[in-house]
Structure 1
């Protein structure tokens, strides 16, 4: 299988790494060579850490040798499966899939790593809805086992079967859900993070107490404010807006503090400051 990945950011680089570790030939596309170089560096560091721990069957060089980096979408023409991992914006993703639908070979499957945007809508834009599916990896991809597989309204059984088998070959546990706003993971997770932000805004507790209570009381590996910073506050806001708009319930209304922080450019780890400084 030739495995395509669009976007060399944190998620795209992780998906490409795991695909290459699983023996696939991988093509990673991004719009700038500097983004590709950053993604390649991220992958190299991740593979080196795994190699040092004795968790790789091959050398990092062997695995990286199966990954090609390119700025040309046309280089994805012969891919059997292409996973998109670009910015969480429906208009951007739709335009990308309109182009991919014309480029990728007719038998190729298109998949989105979207956190919340309707798969059925993106599938329609692609022009090949039977061969379109959601393939939502968790961050960090090399460590997290779940792949949320989201079937669009017209996704074929064959497409779902191939993607499920591919995820299993990548060492992941694929779990299937239907196409509703936020799917399962973010429909449950994001309102919790949003509520934690509301607690901070209202002065219920300080950030350390909010995170500490959820870590110690609920056995979460990290507190909700730390997790929001890790995900990116702009991404959290985008997902909450999709939930609010798609489900029409004000319980999904983004916290005013979340919106204000995004407006201020305080996006979490990616910007160096969110609820905490990095």
Structure 2
């Protein structure tokens, strides 16, 4: 997600700083971003060359690099303690006029904001995979989010060529809550032998015109990510979001979707 967000801002003309946990991760991020930028150039998505785009990106391992940024979007894994620690560390290095956002897909923006010294300068910017192709960003407003940030964030999203859907902080927001509900029911149908994964997805893509079925979308998002979201929604919204056993079993076996080559579908 971080590489995709960096890609989107670079295409929009921004200068981008990517900070990773160590040098190997930073080098891997550089390879992902430069590779995806080259594909955008080949598709004609930009008039700039891949070299010109890449020259506006810095890949580092020190949070102090964020001191030059006007906006930082956190995109670490979906774990509250990890996100809170990353956000606190970033905030220490930001200029007083800088803004801070989380890319969380389900965690409470208000609870994350409570970990910060300047919660009014914080919001949720929930990007969707794959970020460069997706036209949607969910703008999540916390109780402390300033009106100036709410307006400014809409402008950022528009500048990226995307559409903002504005929601107030609630478990799962709008998109994750609806998407996970459909996906969990699809998993239960596979578990119960109602239909195959292929036919369940076909029912949604052909019958309801979803661009991708709920199970293939789960493979793209990552079964481990979906499990984490479902567990959080289960704890906050009740049993209708209880993760099916088939999801727990697949995660336990390491079948996490496209990133491991096997999820509800197989990938080479």
* Residues in 2 aligned to 1:17 and 1:218: alpha-carbon distance in whole angstroms: 31
Supply the distance in 2 between the matched residues of 1:80 and 1:36 (Cα, whole angstroms).
21
Residues in 1 aligned to 2:46 and 2:134: alpha-carbon distance in whole angstroms: 16
2:107 aligns with 117
Aligned residue in 2 for 1:258: 247
2:139 alignment counterpart: 149
Matches of 2:218 and 2:132 in 1, distance apart? 20
Aligned to 1:200: 190
1:99 deviates by 1.6
* Contact 1:229/1:268 (8 A) holds in 2: yes
1:175 matched to which residue of 2? 165
- For structure 2, the residue ranges without an aligned partner over 5 or more in a row are none
Say which is worse superposed, 132-141 or 36-45, in terms of deviation. Answer: 36-45
**Equivalents in 2 of 1:217, 1:58: separation in Å?**
40
Kindly indicate whether the alpha-carbon contact (under 8 Å) linking 1:99 and 1:126 is maintained by their aligned counterparts in 2: no
Q: Secondary structure at the match of 1:240?
A: helix
Structure 1 residue 256: Cα displacement: 1.4
Whether 2:208 is the aligned partner of 1:218: answer yes
Q: Displacement, 1:242?
A: 1.5
> Secondary structure of the equivalent of 1:82?
strand
Establish whether residue 268 from structure 1 lines up as the match of residue 261 from structure 2.
no
Runs of 5+ consecutive residues of structure 1 not aligned to the other structure: 1-10
Q: Where has structure 1 moved over 4 Å in runs of 4 or more?
A: none
Matched with 1:189 is: 179
For 1:171 and 1:62, locate their aligned partners in 2 and report how far apart those are by CA, in whole Å.
20
Q: How many Å separate the matches in 1 of 2:43 and 2:152?
A: 32
TM-score (norm 2): 0.96
SS in 1 for 2:48: coil
Q: Equivalent residues in 2 for 1:230-245 (5 A)?
A: 230-245=220-235
Aligned to 1:5: none
1:36 Cα deviation from its structure 2 partner? 2.0
Which among 50, 54, 59 is matched to residue 64 of structure 1?
A: 54
Select which of 42, 51, 64 maps to 1:74. Answer: 64
Contact 2:179/2:214 (8 A) holds in 1: no
Matched, 1:106 2:96: yes
User: Post-superposition shift, 1:264?
Assistant: 1.6
Task: Report whether the alignment pairs 1:95 with 2:85.
Answer: yes
Q: Provide the C-alpha distance between the structure 2 equivalents of 1:90 and 1:165, rounded to a whole number of angstroms.
A: 28
Deviation, 1:38, is 2.2
Mapped partners of 1:216, 1:23: distance in 2: 37
Residues paired across the two proteins, number: 267
1:163 to 153, 159, 170: 153
